[in-house]
Amino acid sequence: MELTAVTLFIALIAILLGLYYWSTSTYNHWKNLGISGPHPIPLVGNFGSVLLSQQCILEKHMDLYNEWKNEPFFGVFNGSKPILLVNDLEVVKNILIKDFHAFPGRGIEIDEKYEPLEGHLFNIDGHRWKVLREKLTPAFTTGKLKQMVELMIECTEQFEKYLHEQVGEGNIIECREASAKYATDVIGSCAFGLNMNALTKEDCEFRIMGRKLFQPTFLQMISRLFRIYSPKLYKFLRLKSVPPKDAKFFIDTIKTTIEYREKNNIVRHDLVDILKDIKNNQDDIDFEFTEALLASQAFVFFIGGFETSSTTMSFALYELANVPEIQDKLRTEIKDLLKNNNGELSYDVINEMKYLNLVLQEAMRKYPALYIVSRKSSKPYKIPGYDVILPKDTLIDIPIYSIQYDERYYPNPHEFIPERFSEGNNNRNRMAYLPFGAGPKKCIGGRFAMYEVKLGIITVIKNYKVTLSKLTQVPFPGPRPMPFVGNSGSVIFNQQSFIEKQRELYNKWKHEPFVGLFYGRTPVLLINDLDLIKNILITDFHKFPGRGVKVNKNFEPLEDHLLNLQGHRWKILRTKLGPAFTIGKLKQMIDLIIECSEQFTKYLQIKVKKENVIECYEATSKYTMNVIGSCIFGINIDALEKEDNIFTKLGKRSTVLNLLYMIQRLIHYVAPEFYELPSSLNISKEHTRFFVDFVNKTIEHREQNNIVRHDLIEIFKDIKKNKEDIGLEWTESLLAAQALVFFVAGFETSSKTISSALYELAIFPEIQEKLRIEIVNTLKKHNGQLSYDAINEMKYLDMVMKETLRKYPPATELNRKNIVPYKIPGHDVILPPGSSIHVPIYCIQNDELHYSNPELFVPERFSEENDNKRNSMTYMPFGAGPKRCIGLKFAVYQTKLGLIAAIKNFKVIPSELTQIPYKIDKSNLVLSSENGIHLKFESLI
């Protein structure tokens, strides 16, 4: 028994090792050729997310393209199969056109004996393809197209009747199905000479077969996956892409149609007639032309003619419904031209509809029938301009869909803009638009499909106004969520910082005005459009008055602060607390901050004598803590002297994650109904009690001793004394909550900003020297004395500060929640009340669209001239609108004085411990460096 178990275990290990070796044996292929690309995963290669249905193939291709689009080409693995994705448009042109002889086929393996309908023009290559292409081309000449247009017009008349009946029964029509029925009738009439009656008969056999082919069963899906990822196994298991019954139906139909025409001497000059001529004149064809080979050509024209055309038509109608002004413009063109031609449609009239042509081209740009074009090299091939030789049988994919969504070729690619294709704008590289492919293998029926779709659109738009219905899916673009964790699994499990994850999502979706995400089970709308951000934060603030944070006052009393409140309570508190931060109060506070900065200088001098490498977070947080203590609470915290200071401990705990907090956050994301709020400040009960007692005792001490200091505590004292006049319940914990948020925000964010500024100044010594010269010269003008006015004269210091806040904003995002239904301006989207809105400040402020080379530290971005040019919504380190940070001016002066103290007296340079490049700390709630900021300070005093 034991031996059997051991044997089974060894066998299992052997099988797994065998699978691993088999699936990874090709994974050095691209590396050996000197071609870069993403690292593959055993068994699935680079397409695991597609196999697991986490992404569709289009999404995956777009991800890969966006990551590697600056490479001319890159290698991926479809399972174990190496594929070269080509981005460089000149290389694309070479492969598809100039060097077609080296890439004559698509590399599709077929077995015509087992799958008789696979031997069609799309799949075959070489000599057979060339002969068939020549024989079939006459079906699509201009002369034949003109004849076919008349047949198409007859079908549109039937389509018009169908639509009229459907609208009579109910005005919502499923466009995909309606378009497919119309396209099926067109193909039947023009290609096969058959009246298929798909528009009038629900049991039309061809329409039923079309549904089967493009709505596959689960087993057919599995079969197709095997064909893509393991063609050998597909062949070994004798799987089929088209069920035998359907294949037989098609072969018999073509055979019967040809025989009927021959017996009755019927000539229609269509595809079936060409197939009939090929069948009867095989003497000049040097390969066997079987009934199945004939039928397979008809089969591919049927699929291409009805499926791709109906899909394109449906998408065009969707876009026209979504952008009514384009629809109206198109309708005007159609009606005017028909009026000029006595209401009659014809080949020439359709060609006069220039705007219709633009609409169709833009629809095919956004929704190309094929998302890739595939080729296979028939011999070794040196890529022109590159030192790379591709071996024979290399598989090539050209990512049409991704190229046609590339902003380098199409600005704002997700918007539907027909004018892109007007004569004045259509000067782009031809290889950036390939909906029908390019070169000798370009779709043979492309022009036929264009007229088929155009006539379908004309029929609809001429007679009907098309609008979005309640059943129309206008999906928020965004990544597919995972069970339990949504799109935040890597953050919840501390694999990525929140900022890193958000930036990853932003970079992928930044060209969308908004993106739908899931934080656990909670839907969140990420807003990228700057005008929409302005509406939410400022113009429509009354509809988004709060951050949507639920506070359990009994469970976490110190969460009931200004940052979390909204509505009437927030308005009263904001009004009462505002006087603590007026210009007059700031001028009074400056002297107190200067005192703290002098103590900071002494602290740095002592530290430098002991060790010249200083951890900046630690040092600056002690300085800012002293400032907060003195200016806000009127006490000497003495953090620069005492290591075991209770405030220092409280400050450190408030922003660092621990295991308990991680568990709380996990519950918050996955099941918020079980845990309303993991404390944003991470404060223990012990520290909560300390802070409540501290604020109360400070107020009592001042009242008993008639002490007046005109600071925040003084305002608290007045509020407590006159709480009956305020209009809300005022408790000790509510007072303490306001004090705590000012304490944490005041010391933590400012210390991080000073540290980040010092980090950048150490890396860029020329900027540091320029700043030092300004500080020294300004102080010289003021007899060596710092003051409110002297600080305001330091313009370059202001630029350095602003550039630091751009790269390292204290708040990396803003949250809002609407209290009423909200229609997004310019979009047919209504947000229900309670929608969570996130504005990605960090991502916007580090976006090259708004700041060229955003990773560089360039204070001159914020010169007066440059500052006036940019959209104000691209710079929001303290938020925007009525909820903008109440203490921002205080924070600015506190930070500036800390920088002045350091740069005036010390030269700051990177040390051996300085982390370059900057890595974000996953365990901190505020944007900060992973291992702290360790800089060498050299005294200049």
443 is in an annotated binding site: yes
CA distance 129 to 148: 25
Angle at 147 between CA 145 and CA 148, to 5 degrees: 60
Calculate the alpha carbon distances from 750 to 366, 665, 838, 898 in Å.
46, 25, 23, 9
Q: What HEC string does 714-764 produce?
A: HHHHHHHHCHHHCCCCCCHHHHHHHHHHHHHHHHHHHHHHHHHHHHHHHHC
Between the two ends of the chain, the Cα-to-Cα distance in Å is 83
* CB-based contact 458:345 (threshold 8 Å): yes
Specify which residues 524 forms β-bridges with. Answer: 517, 836
* CB-based contact 171:310 (threshold 8 Å): no
Calculate the alpha carbon distances from 146 to 313, 371, 703 in Å.
21, 30, 97
Structure tokens that stand for 452 in this block? 């088929």
Which of 685, 808, 693 lies closest to 757 in space, CA to CA? 808
* CB-based contact 720:735 (threshold 8 Å): yes
Query: Strands 522-527 and 514-519, how do they pair?
Result: antiparallel
Residues 6+ apart with CB under 8 A from 308: 369, 449
Residues 6+ apart with CB under 8 A from 276: 258, 261, 262
Calculate the alpha carbon distances from 134 to 127, 128, 267, 448, 747 in Å.
11, 10, 20, 17, 78
CA distance 551 to 569: 13
CB-based burial of residue 393 (10 Å sphere; 0-12 exposed, 13-18 middle, 19+ buried)? Answer: exposed
Calculate the alpha carbon distances from 457 to 187, 450, 708 in Å.
16, 11, 78
Residues 6+ apart with CB under 8 A from 798: 862, 896
Which of 735, 733, 898, 868 lies closest to 804 in space, CA to CA? 898
CA distance 510 to 844: 9
Q: What is the largest CA-CA distance in the chain?
A: 118
The torsion region of residue 343 among left (phi > 0), alpha (psi -120 to 50) and beta comes to: left
CA distance 146 to 148: 5
* CB-based contact 419:355 (threshold 8 Å): no
CA dihedral 43, 376, 394, 99 (to 10 degrees): -150
* CB-based contact 445:304 (threshold 8 Å): yes
Cα–chain center distance at 655: 29
Query: Dihedral sign, CA of 698, 700, 704, 710?
Result: positive
Q: No. of H helices and E strands in the chain?
A: 38, 15
CA distance 562 to 573: 7
CA dihedral 733, 739, 742, 746 (to 10 degrees): -130
Which of 603, 651, 593 lies closest to 626 in space, CA to CA? 593
Residues 6+ apart with CB under 8 A from 910: 762, 763, 916, 935, 936
Structure tokens that stand for 446 in this block? 């492309």
Cα–chain center distance at 338: 43
Annotated binding site for heme: 443
Q: Which residue ranges are tagged as binding site? A: 443
